[in-house]
Amino acid sequence: MTEQLTTGTGAGTGNVPPVVPPVVPPVEPTVESVTVVPRDRRKLFAVLRWAAAGVVFAAAGAGTAYGVTQQQRTDLPGLSTRSDGRWTYPAQARPTPPPGAPLPAGADNKGATHYADLSALLLAAPVGARPDTAFKADKDAVVPSDAFLEEYPADARPKLKESLEWGGLRKITGRSWIMPDGTRTRIYLLRFHSSGFVDNFQGCKPDVRLTDATSLSVDPEWMKAGVDADTSAVVSGTDIALYEEPKPFGEEQTRLGCLQAGDVQAVVIQSRKGGAAVVPFHQTVVLQSQLLG
């Protein structure tokens, strides 16, 4: 992928005789050309030495400033940047749709329909994560609708189940993992018959409640980062709403992310004892949005 650049002299190989520059005889100084007395000459040399030293220091300072501004902080010996809490994810790649099928963001795909296998659109677990053995999914990552509805309070499940059955739900896939610090992440992808049915999904409305979080409010950090690098990395055409369990939240804190991309509704849930960190939550949501774009 990288382009190699080559350089050449551009000269030919003919027998061209070398050009000898003319010899210019030295010019003998005249008495009139030497007008500086020895004392003035010493002063002149001192001034020139200090001027030369100033030029050297200025050049050295400019070179150092250029190096610091051009290099990454982690490239400079002894200068590192403290981790902001992001997880290390493996390289992610959007799956290839079946032959002849358009891409979700293709000009010939007005409904942004995803034709790739739904499980291939799931975000892979980060480095250091262990599988969540309590997560209810089969070997193909398919999640029964009743298992998905367990994320919501018992009194809200009948209405949600009815909306899924009548709302054009085709399939649910999911993945869950647990990080060394105890953060548990669950990602669900719900595929509907078309993008119009996704709008009717009731599990991400502003008044939504979860089994582990009876009260949720809009994520203030996400709202505040309107032009942040995180939000700018979100794929165009993906609608995102993020919620957090406000303080006091009890033993655990839960965060909820809802991503709508064409015919797919993604639900990201993170919870952790003592508080769920905001940075890896935003990171997970952004990466999942990129896979769906």
Per residue in 174-215, pLDDT (tens digit) is: 999 999 999 999 999 999 999 999 988 999 988 999 999 999
What is the model's pLDDT at position 225? 67
pLDDT digits (tens, 9 = 90+) for 220-258: 999 886 534 444 455 555 789 999 999 999 999 999 999
Q: Measuring CA to CA, which residue among 193, 275, 279 is closest to residue 242?
A: 279
For the chain, the distance separating the N- and C-terminal CA atoms, rounded to the nearest angstrom, is: 24
Cβ neighbors of 54 (< 8 A, separation 6 or more) are none
Name the more confident of 145 and 234.
Answer: 145
Q: Is the pLDDT of residue 3 over 70?
A: no
Residue 81 one-letter amino acid: T
Name the more confident of 183 and 24.
Answer: 183
How many Cα atoms within 13 Å fall on the side-chain side of residue 37? Answer: 2
Over residues 253-279, the mean pLDDT reads 97
pLDDT digits (tens, 9 = 90+) for 44-62: 344 444 444 443 434 333 3
Q: Measuring CA to CA, which residue among 267, 268, 292 is closest to residue 280?
A: 268
Place of tokens 């262990």: 130
Neighbours of 117 (CB within 10 A): 16
How many whole angstroms separate alpha carbon 232 and alpha carbon 31? 75
Q: Is the pLDDT of residue 25 over 60?
A: no
How many whole angstroms separate alpha carbon 157 and alpha carbon 153? 7
What is the model's pLDDT at position 233? 54
Buried b (16+ CB within 10 A) or exposed e, 259-284: bbbbbbbbbbbbbbeeebbbebbbbb
Name the more confident of 64 and 147.
Answer: 147
CATH class of the domain whose range is 118-292: alpha beta
67 falls in which pLDDT band (50, 70, 90)?
very low
CA distances 45 to 16, 26, 56, 88, 96, Å, are 46, 24, 16, 61, 73
Structure tokens, 217: 């409010």
How many Cα atoms within 13 Å fall on the side-chain side of residue 109? Answer: 19
What is the model's pLDDT at position 36? 41
Domain regions of the chain by residue span: 41-70, 118-292
- The gap from C-alpha 288 to its chain's centroid, in whole angstroms, comes to 11
How many Cα atoms within 13 Å fall on the side-chain side of residue 193? Answer: 8
Strand order in the sheet with 184-192: 130-131, 169-178, 184-192, 264-273, 252-261, 239-244, 217-218
pTM: 0.70
Confirm if 269 and 254 have CB atoms less than 8 A apart: yes
